[in-house]
Structure 1
């Protein structure tokens, strides 16, 4: 049953990202891509939580956590896209791809479907763990998940507040959590996926595969599709102000500031 379910989920992810491609081509708003992706991962994770072979209480906990993640992220990105905000990362890619943009975007989104499957596999291994529930590791995993969900929601809200201010046209955000990381939302997104190996670890020799989710997410956010293109855009639009931010604030992991004065991107 588990194997057949995973095959169905993989096909569903591919179809979902094909639909996301179509929506982007019609609306010209790339934010719908990440909205669909978040929903697809949430639905896929919920499906594997409901129908895997693990104990009911474990599956229920996994179900609640992955649905909370998917609902929050999809609604956040969807609301942002609905008011016309465009993701500069996709805009840059489409410009680089030129005349082949449509085809290359389709193939790129199929790669996103494959990445989503890796994440859902981690959720599946957590839900299918036959160990008694709750263990100490399960409690730690729940705390990690809650901290990540709250931290990402707070950092997104702080950035949204800054974007509504007049300062956002020329300044960089250093409000709240953004004083200690240039990308706290990315950090908490990565932290969320760290909970699944804790849920999944067991005597099974397959449980180690759950670690692929946080490893892949870190690589994507820090080295591929997260920080590099976004910071390139910020350097282009904010110049020396963003270079100064890079000198005093960690890129990913929150930590002490390296000096520098308060900027107008702060909130009192």
Structure 2
């Protein structure tokens, strides 16, 4: 059966089945991992194996967007397992961190599901990569650029979650700051996506530039919220175990990903599709709002 003949309901069935299979394979890695492996190593290997499986299935259905929910599905599963195997750790911090990651994951996955039409729909960025890849095989672009790279970046972001869950320092002032940053980031993403959906749903807004609400202060408030979320998790890690400060490679990696890849692609597309967007770029900053 061709991909275009699959209904939206059956498409989601394929997604759920694929991710259950990936979860099963990842769990097998956890069970079979040598006892000498650190939980970070075990989670990383399981994460890679699950990613390779989703990649293989995305090639079978000829839709790289099968990977899209992986970004938000994997973190709460990894964090949940780390809570189980952590030797010690402050219980209050564990509950707060796991709750925030779960809320973030459910909201972000739900936002993806809301906008995904089914297996016939492929993210426009993937279509662009496929058309401009030159002589590079599509399977290599799909694996490296679309699936493996985000998995690695997200895992870098999760590095600080391990000390946050296993660190012995009691819940303190820095944890309160981390909670505010992380919860605020989730709220910003939710508001930005809600405002964008409402704007896009209005027929009269077709071809217009989104420049109201939080989108009036920053061109990419959803990206700003996503970056702030990972910085918030890093603050939890530092609060629990200051010696793990080096895990800031995670949130820094997020900044690099969005500044070097996601934002330029979105801006370039908007420049091609919306008149006046060049002026909009000069007036509204990409991420951090101006003080005035």
Same fold (TM over 0.5): yes
Query: What whole-Å deviation, never above 9, does each CA across 1:5-60 have from its counterpart, x for those lacking one?
Result: 22221122212322332443344544432212210123112222343231222212
- Give the conservation status (yes or no) of the 8 Å contact 2:160–2:236: no
Are 1:19 and 2:19 counterparts? no
TM-score normalised by L of structure 1: 0.85
**Aligned pair in 2 of structure 1 residues 7, 66: CA closer, same or farther (>3 Å)?**
same
Unaligned runs of 5+ in 1: 258-268
**Aligned pair in 2 of structure 1 residues 78, 12: CA closer, same or farther (>3 Å)?**
farther
Are 1:250 and 2:288 counterparts? no
Query: What is the CA–CA distance in structure 2 between the aligned matches of 1:66 and 1:51, rounded to whole Å?
Result: 18
Q: What residue is the counterpart of 2:177 in the other structure?
A: 140
Query: What whole-Å deviation, never above 9, does each CA across 1:108-141 have from its counterpart, x for those lacking one?
Result: 22222221221121111211221012x0001111
Moved over 6 A (4+): none
Q: What residue is the counterpart of 2:199 in the other structure?
A: 162
- Give the conservation status (yes or no) of the 8 Å contact 1:42–1:71: no
Unaligned runs of 5+ in 2: 1-34
More moved, 210-219 vs 139-148: 210-219
The within-5 A match list for 1:1-268 is 3-53=37-87, 54-82=89-117, 86-98=122-134, 100-108=137-145, 109-133=147-171, 135-201=172-238, 204=241, 206-223=243-260, 225-238=261-274, 240-255=275-290
Query: What is the CA–CA distance in structure 2 between the aligned matches of 1:2 and 1:169, rounded to whole Å?
Result: 57
For the aligned residue pairs, the C-alpha RMSD in angstroms reads 2.3
TM-score normalised by L of structure 2: 0.79
**Aligned pair in 2 of structure 1 residues 141, 203: CA closer, same or farther (>3 Å)?**
closer
Query: What whole-Å deviation, never above 9, does each CA across 1:230-267 have from its counterpart, x for those lacking one?
Result: 111111222x321121121111112368xxxxxxxxxx
Aligned length: 254
**Aligned pair in 2 of structure 1 residues 95, 56: CA closer, same or farther (>3 Å)?**
same
Query: What is the CA–CA distance in structure 2 between the aligned matches of 1:15 and 1:52, rounded to whole Å?
Result: 22
Query: What whole-Å deviation, never above 9, does each CA across 1:197-250 have from its counterpart, x for those lacking one?
Result: 321225856411231222111111112x21011111111222x32112112111
SS at match of 1:226: helix
- Give the conservation status (yes or no) of the 8 Å contact 1:20–1:32: yes
Q: What residue is the counterpart of 1:262 in the other structure?
A: none
**Aligned pair in 2 of structure 1 residues 162, 25: CA closer, same or farther (>3 Å)?**
farther
